[in-house]
Structure 1
Amino acid sequence: MTTTRRAALKLLGATSVAATAGLAVQTTGSQPAAAQTGAPSGRVPKGLRPGGELDQLIADMAARDVFSGNVLITHRGQTVLARSYGMADKARSVPNGPDTLFGLASVAKLFTAVSVAQLAQRAKLQYYDTLGMHVDGFPAEIADRVTIHHLLTHTSGLGDFFGDPGYWDVARTWTSVQQVTDGVGQFVRKETLAFPPGAGSQYSNSAYHLLGEIVARVSGQEYHDYVREHIFRTARMRSADFYTLPQLREDRRIAHGYYRPEGSRDRIDNIDEQIFAPGAFATCAQMEQFAHALWEEKLLNPAYTRLTLSPKLPGLPPPGPVPLTVFTGYGPGATLAGDRWSYGHNGGASNGAAAELVFYPDSGYVTVIMSNYEIESIRGIPGLARKLIVEQG
Structure 2
Amino acid sequence: MTHEPSTSRTSRRSVLGLLSSVPVAAGLLAAGRPAQAEASTFRSIPADLRPGGKFDRFVADQAAKDLFSGVVLLAYQGRPVLRRACGMANKAASLPNRLDTRFDLASVTKAFTAVAVAQLAQQRKIAFHEKIGTYLQGFPAEIGQTVTVHQLLTHTSGIGRPAVGTEPPTRPEWDTVQKLWDGTAKAIRALPPQFTPGTQYRYSNDGFFLLGEIVATVSGRSYYDYVREHIFAPAGMTHSDFFTKPQVTADPTIARPYATQRSGPRVDFTTSDFFPFVGGPHRGAYCSATDVLGFVRALRNGTLLSPAYAELFTTAKMIMPPSEQQGLTREHLFYGYGFIDAIVNGRHVVGHSGGSAGAANNLDTFPGQNWVAMIFGNYDTPIAPIVEMARQIIT
Q: TM-score range by the shorter chain?
A: 0.7 to 0.9
Closer, same or farther in 2 for the Cα pair 1:298/1:160, shift >3 Å?
A: farther
Q: Does residue 386 of the first structure (1) align with residue 391 of the second (2)? A: yes
Distance in 1 between residues matched to 2:244 and 2:237, nearest whole Å: 18
User: Which residue does the alignment assign to 1:326?
Assistant: 333
Distance in 2 between residues matched to 1:166 and 1:307, nearest whole Å: 27
Distance in 2 between residues matched to 1:45 and 1:79, nearest whole Å: 14
Give the CA deviation at 1:159: 1.7
Structure 1 gap ranges (5+) = 1-17, 22-36
Aligned 8 A contact 1:261 1:268 in 2: no
Moved more, 299-308 or 202-211: 299-308
Give the CA deviation at 1:272: 0.9
User: Which residue does the alignment assign to 1:367?
Assistant: 373
Secondary structure of the 2:192 match is coil
Distance in 2 between residues matched to 1:368 and 1:124, nearest whole Å: 33
Give the CA deviation at 1:316: 3.0
User: Which residue does the alignment assign to 1:345?
Assistant: 352
User: Which residue does the alignment assign to 1:308?
Assistant: 313
User: Which residue does the alignment assign to 1:158?
Assistant: 159
Distance in 1 between residues matched to 2:157 and 2:381, nearest whole Å: 26
Aligned 8 A contact 1:89 1:256 in 2: yes
Closer, same or farther in 2 for the Cα pair 1:179/1:163, shift >3 Å?
A: farther
Secondary structure of the 1:200 match is coil
Closer, same or farther in 2 for the Cα pair 1:295/1:324, shift >3 Å?
A: farther
Distance in 2 between residues matched to 1:237 and 1:164, nearest whole Å: 27
Closer, same or farther in 2 for the Cα pair 1:46/1:106, shift >3 Å?
A: same
Closer, same or farther in 2 for the Cα pair 1:245/1:370, shift >3 Å?
A: same
Alignment of 1:141-156 (within 5 A): 141-156=142-157
The one-letter code sitting in structure 1 at the alignment partner of 2:226 is Y
Give the CA deviation at 1:320: 4.8
Closer, same or farther in 2 for the Cα pair 1:338/1:167, shift >3 Å?
A: closer
Give the CA deviation at 1:254: 0.4
Q: Select 1:287's aligned residue among 292, 296, 301.
A: 292
TM-score by length of 1: 0.85
Per-residue CA deviation, residues 28-64 of structure 1 (Å, 9 max, x unaligned), is xxxxxxxxx9544433211111121111110111111
Q: RMSD value over aligned CA atoms?
A: 2.2
Closer, same or farther in 2 for the Cα pair 1:136/1:161, shift >3 Å?
A: farther
Give the CA deviation at 1:271: 1.7
User: Which residue does the alignment assign to 1:70?
Assistant: 71
Give the CA deviation at 1:231: 0.3
User: Which residue does the alignment assign to 2:267?
Assistant: 268
Aligned 8 A contact 1:19 1:74 in 2: no
Structure 2 gap ranges (5+) = 1-13, 18-34
Give the CA deviation at 1:277: 2.3
Give the CA deviation at 1:381: 0.6
Closer, same or farther in 2 for the Cα pair 1:321/1:247, shift >3 Å?
A: closer
Aligned 8 A contact 1:161 1:187 in 2: no
User: Which residue does the alignment assign to 1:82?
Assistant: 83
Alignment of 1:10-89 (within 5 A): 18=14, 38-39=38-39, 40-89=41-90
Closer, same or farther in 2 for the Cα pair 1:60/1:250, shift >3 Å?
A: same
The one-letter code sitting in structure 2 at the alignment partner of 1:304 is Y
Secondary structure of the 1:184 match is helix
The one-letter code sitting in structure 1 at the alignment partner of 2:180 is V
Closer, same or farther in 2 for the Cα pair 1:263/1:336, shift >3 Å?
A: closer
Give the CA deviation at 1:297: 2.5
The one-letter code sitting in structure 1 at the alignment partner of 2:233 is R
Aligned residues: 354
Secondary structure of the 1:246 match is helix
Distance in 2 between residues matched to 1:107 and 1:78, nearest whole Å: 22
Give the CA deviation at 1:364: 1.2
Distance in 1 between residues matched to 2:352 and 2:164, nearest whole Å: 22
Alignment of 1:167-246 (within 5 A): 171-246=171-246
Closer, same or farther in 2 for the Cα pair 1:55/1:302, shift >3 Å?
A: same
Distance in 2 between residues matched to 1:51 and 1:150, nearest whole Å: 45
Secondary structure of the 2:115 match is helix
Moved more, 276-285 or 196-205: 276-285
Secondary structure of the 1:65 match is coil
Per-residue CA deviation, residues 351-387 of structure 1 (Å, 9 max, x unaligned), is 31111111122221111111111142x2301111011
Distance in 1 between residues matched to 2:205 and 2:70, nearest whole Å: 25
Q: Percent identity?
A: 42
The one-letter code sitting in structure 2 at the alignment partner of 1:329 is G
Closer, same or farther in 2 for the Cα pair 1:387/1:180, shift >3 Å?
A: same
Secondary structure of the 2:365 match is strand
The one-letter code sitting in structure 1 at the alignment partner of 2:270 is I
